[in-house]
Amino acid sequence: MTTRAKEAIKTGLAMAIAYGIARQLGWDKPSWAGFAVAMISLSTAGQSINKGAMRMLGTLVGLVAALTILALFSQDRWLFLIVLSLYLGFCTYMLTGKKLVYFWFISAFVCMLISISGGADSQNAFHIGLAREQETGLGILVYSLVSVCLLYTSDAADESSRGWGGVVG
């Protein structure tokens, strides 16, 4: 079987399992679990797990930032927008660096998504944020398990071309 076929089967299987579990549990937006699978699907298991970790941590930081901004500034619209804009500007600045680019992108995106969709109701924002976090985590967990346990392909060809296991001398 070709590598492209294996990757397509792996991603499709993980997406179907994650979406099915989220629907079976009655979660609000099961599509977020499938979306997380699609976004972290890369050519090697190590890259996918790294991107999944960055997505999960970025979602968590964005959730905490959004809930903090909503808790402190929900009564004053202008102050809320100014602080949210400052956080998004900080994340955008961090995107120009060389490290953790995907983390900062996800953090800004999730913070904006939860802050705007939650509105002035902090309880609604909290429920949206928790749903986003748990469904993203489910998608990452399912893809990682399918990728590593069921359809693992060795990265030996990549490692042999880089030297001693990818360690740069």
List, run by run, the mean pLDDT of 10-residue segments along the chain (169 residues).
80 90 87 86 78 90 92 86 94 90 92 82 81 88 84 50 39
At residue 50, the pLDDT reads: 85
pLDDT at 132 (0 to 100)? 85
- Judging by beta carbons within 10 Å of its beta carbon (0-12, 13-18, 19+), is residue 128 exposed, middle or buried? buried
Q: What's residue 31's pLDDT?
A: 85
The CA distance from 120 to 134, in Å, is 22
pLDDT at residue 159, rounded to an integer:
43
What pLDDT was estimated at residue 88?
Answer: 95
Structure pTM?
Answer: 0.76
168 and 159 Cβ atoms separated by less than 8 Å: no
**Confidence at residue 151, expressed as pLDDT on a 0 to 100 scale:** 61
Instruction: Give CA–CA dist 15/39, Å, rounded.
Output: 11
Q: Any residues with CB less than 8 A from the CB of 169 and at least 6 apart, and which?
A: 163
